[in-house]
Amino acid sequence: MNHLPNAASLRNNCPRSGGDQNLFFLDFVSPTKFDNSYFKNLLANKGLLNSDQVLVTKSEVAKQLVQQYAVNNELFLEQFAKSMIKMGNLSPITGSRGEI
């Protein structure tokens, strides 16, 4: 799929109850490639989820990151790799000490 679905098609595929196994691509430009198209979509107001689209509307700092990643795929990939390493080094609190 190379087009952003319209609201009617999303409603048809996402029933009011159930349907938790229904999947949609968050990036309809290059859904099978890991790249910065997601950020380009956000700048074009084509974010699938409202929680994603607010990255360009609620915070100037977040919007600047989206803009940087949209124009520089290498920067996005580099910073994504660093973030994954940081997340892999986290020790979440589990059991009686915390909740996941």
In the annotated binding site, the residues are 27, 35
Residue list for the binding site for Ca(2+): 27, 35
Longest CA span, the chain: 46
What percentage of the chain's residues is helix, strand, coil (to nearest 5)? Answer: 50, 0, 50
Length of the chain: 100
Name the CA radius of gyration of the chain, rounded.
17
